[in-house]
Amino acid sequence: MAGPTTDALAWVVIGLFLSGALLRRRESDHARTATVAAWAVFAVFWAALVPHFAFVQRSFVEGFLSLVAVPASLYVGWLLYDGRDSLFVLSKAIAVMGVVYLPFETIPALTVAGLALPSPRHVLIAHTTAQTQWAMELLGYNPTLVEGDQGYLNTFKFVTDGGHTILFSIILACTGLGSIAIFVGLIAAVEAPLSRKLRALAIAVPIIYVLNIARTTFIGLMFGKQYMQWFVDEVLFLFGGTDPYKVSFYLSDRVISQVLAVVALVGVTYLVVRELPELVTIVEDVLYVITREEYDLREALDLPDPNEVGPGAD
C-alpha cells in the first residue's frame, strides 16, 4: 500500500463490497448499485497505486497489473450493472480478501490496560523473518539480523567481499499474506459445503506459505551475496536505478520472483479448483473480462461435478 490515503480508500472499497454482499444476501434491490459503486471506487484505488508501483517500487509486473486493473474494474462494474449476476460472487470474494488483508496493513500497535500489543503487521513480519533466517541458515548462510527502518528486527545485513553493506528487509509484501487473502476470499465466496472449503484452504495456504519462504530466501541470498550481477548497465537503465548493487535485487525480485509468483498462483488455482469446482464460475468471469469470450472450464479441465466431490458434497 502507498500510504494513509490509499489505506483509507481501500477501507471504503471493502466497505462498499461488504455492503453489496450483505444487501445481496437480503435480496435487496440496492445490492447491484452498491456493488457497481464498489467497482468504480476500486478503479480509483488502483489508479492511485500505479505511480507507487511503477516509479517508487520500480516493479514492471505490479505497475502493469495495477494499470490494467483500472479499466478492468470499470468494465466489471459495467458488466454487473448490465446484468451479469455471476460477478456478485467475485465481488464478495474481494470483500473477504480485504477483511483478511487490511487489518495487517492498517491496524497499529496498541496499548490496552498498560499492556503493549504489537501491530498485526509486526507479528507477521517477525514470523516471516524468522522462517527466512532459518532457511538461510539451513543453506549455510548466516547474515546478521538488524533493526530495519520500521523499528523491527526484520533486516538481514550482508557484507560483500569489498566491504560494501547490503540490507535486505522483510516487509508486509514479503509475507505471502496477499496471496493467502486471495484464496481465502475466493473460497469463502462460493456456495459449497464447509468440509470442501476447508480442504481447499488446506491445499492453498501451506503451498503459498512454503513457496513464499522459498521466495524471500532466494531474493535475500541473490541480493545479499550479489549472485545476479548480470547486464548491470542495462538493468539499471530498465529500472531507472543508479545503485549497481541493486541489480541482483531487481532481477531476483522484480523479474524472476514476480513472474514465478503469477505462475504459482495459476498452479495453486488449478489444484484448488479440482477440490472446489464451484470456483470455476469466478475464473470464467475473470477470463471473460480479459478476453470478452465465454468459457466452459469445467468441461475443458474435466472437473468433477460439485455434487460428486467426495464426502460433504451434499
Q: Which residues of 146-172 are buried (b: 16+ CB within 10 A; e: fewer)?
A: eebeeebebbbebeeeeeeebebbbbb
Separation between Cα atoms, residue 190 and residue 156, nearest integer Å: 41
Residue 274 catalytic?
A: no
At residue 243, the 3 state secondary structure works out as coil
Q: Which of 24, 174, 196, 254 is catalytic?
A: 174
In the chain, which ranges are continuous DSSP H helix? 4-25, 31-51, 60-81, 87-106, 120-138, 177-189, 194-224, 232-239, 247-249, 258-275, 280-291, 297-300
Separation between Cα atoms, residue 235 and residue 242, nearest integer Å: 10
Place of cell 476447508: 198
What is the CA angle 6-10-15, rounded to 5? 150
Separation between Cα atoms, residue 22 and residue 250, nearest integer Å: 43
Q: Which of 32, 121, 215, 254 is catalytic?
A: 215
The sign one gets for the Cα dihedral 131, 135, 136, 140 is positive
Phi, then psi, of 157 in degrees rounded to 5? -105, 120
Q: Which residues of 110-124 are buried (b: 16+ CB within 10 A; e: fewer)?
A: eeeeeeeeebbbbeb
Separation between Cα atoms, residue 245 and residue 157, nearest integer Å: 14
DSSP one-letter code for 305: P
Which positions are catalytic? 174, 215
